[in-house]
């Protein structure tokens, strides 16, 4: 009887010891897993930036696709200004931002379809998409009195250039919005804008899927980089800006990464056109974007110690 009690006691002690050993091993392993997961979750690195020079001259015998020649000023065209800016920005990014590669969607005057631009961005596994454009206002229609007929004034309608637009504008992708998203827009001071240009059909099932994916993964980062660029243009360069707007733009939605379209200025405004075509103006724009990218990179790569 005594031996049975001793044997049972020994088994109990051994079992308890085994539990303690297992618990210790489990605690050690769990701690390692937490540390490993923390590193993985904060291992984002900004490696590739896609620089998109908006518009271009439509190539001869171009395949079907979405093309747009862009806006014109009194002596220059959007397609040439954006290409000059893109080439300068590519050099500046690779010179001033360590470990980052810049890929152009076009490096010649020939246009590239919206579909191909997005494809280039995704094929190169871009981490950030920056599309460069020049803004322009449509002509205004005015009524001018031209005479009198049978005692009544006679008017005619005529179109006159509207050169009142001035300054930069940031566009981020937006289409369908829930109440929560509308509140986020308000909190981030993002204005709404109507669809134009390469606009998307909100009833298209493919667009709905892409929109949901974009909102879920890239919206906050897109607004972040747009705000940073805008702050540099206004705060450092002292230029006017119309802020941020949401717009349903094909190339922003179909590029699977945070993205912003930068309207660098109004090419049909005489002052802006001179600035956009000057070496000083182009250098300022490029430097502002590079500073913003550096801030974005530092913020996104920052590891928070737990």
pLDDT one-digit tens code per residue, 152-175: 887 888 888 899 999 999 999 875
Residue keyed to tokens 């454009």 = 133
Model confidence pLDDT, tens digit, residues 218-229: 888 999 999 999
Residue range 47-301 in CATH 3.40.630.40: yes
Question: What is this structure's pTM?
Answer: 0.72
Q: How many CB atoms lie within 10 A of CB 18?
A: 10
The mean predicted confidence, pLDDT, of the chain is: 78
Q: What DSSP state is assigned to residue 75?
A: S
- Bridge partners of 210, per DSSP, are none
Q: Where are the domains of the chain?
A: 1-41, 47-301
Distance set, CA 22 to CA 18, 31, 36, 109, 267 (Å): 6, 14, 21, 68, 71
Model confidence pLDDT, tens digit, residues 38-85: 333 457 899 999 999 999 987 777 776 677 789 999 999 999 999 999
| Joined tokens for residue 44 | 């984002």
Q: Work out the percent of the chain whose per-residue pLDDT is above 90.
A: 50
Distance set, CA 155 to CA 138, 140, 146, 148, 220 (Å): 22, 16, 5, 9, 51
Q: What DSSP state is assigned to residue 74?
A: S
What pLDDT score does 68 carry? 76
| Joined tokens for residue 285 | 């724009």
Angle, helices 279-301 vs 78-96, to 10°: value is 50
214 falls in which pLDDT band (50, 70, 90)? low
The alpha-helical segments, DSSP class H, found in the chain are 2-41, 78-96, 114-123, 179-187, 205-217, 219-231, 250-254, 270-277, 279-301
What pLDDT score does 251 carry? 77
Model confidence pLDDT, tens digit, residues 268-301: 999 999 999 999 999 999 999 999 999 999 999 9
CB contact set of 253 (below 8 Å; sequence gap of 6+): 173, 175, 200, 207, 210, 211, 214
Of 101, 108, 170, 173, nearest to 133 by C-alpha is 170
């Amino acid at each position: 009887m005594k031996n049975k009690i001793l044997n049972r006691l020994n088994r109990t002690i051994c079992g308890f010891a085994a539990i303690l050993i297992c618990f210790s091993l489990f605690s050690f392993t769990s701690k390692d897993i937490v540390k490993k997961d923390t590193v993985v979750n904060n291992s984002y690195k900004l490696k590739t930036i896609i620089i998109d020079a908006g518009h271009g001259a439509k190539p001869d015998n171009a395949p079907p696709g979405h093309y747009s020649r862009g806006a014109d000023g009194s002596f220059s065209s959007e397609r040439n200004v954006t290409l000059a800016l893109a080439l300068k920005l590519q050099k500046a990014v690779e010179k001033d931002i360590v470990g980052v590669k810049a890929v152009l969607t076009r490096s010649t005057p020939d246009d590239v379809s919206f579909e191909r631009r997005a494809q280039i961005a995704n094929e190169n596994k871009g981490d950030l998409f920056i599309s460069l454009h020049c803004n322009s206002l449509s002509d205004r229609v005015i009524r001018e009195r031209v005479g009198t007929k049978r005692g009544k004034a006679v008017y005619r309608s005529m179109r006159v250039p509207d050169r009142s637009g001035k300054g930069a504008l940031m566009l981020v992708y937006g289409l369908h919005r829930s109440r929560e998203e509308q509140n986020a827009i308000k909190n981030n001071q993002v204005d709404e804008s109507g669809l134009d240009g390469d606009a998307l059909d909100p009833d298209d099932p493919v667009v709905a899927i892409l929109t949901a994916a974009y909102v879920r993964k890239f919206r906050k980062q897109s607004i972040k980089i747009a705000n940073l660029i805008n702050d540099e243009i206004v705060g450092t360069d002292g230029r006017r800006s119309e802020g941020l707007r949401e717009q349903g733009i094909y190339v922003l939605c179909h590029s699977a990464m945070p993205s912003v379209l930068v309207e660098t200025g109004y090419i049909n405004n005489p002052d802006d056109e001179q600035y956009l075509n000057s070496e000083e103006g182009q250098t300022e724009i490029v430097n502002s974007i590079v500073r913003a990218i550096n801030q974005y990179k530092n913020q996104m790569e920052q590891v928070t110690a737990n």
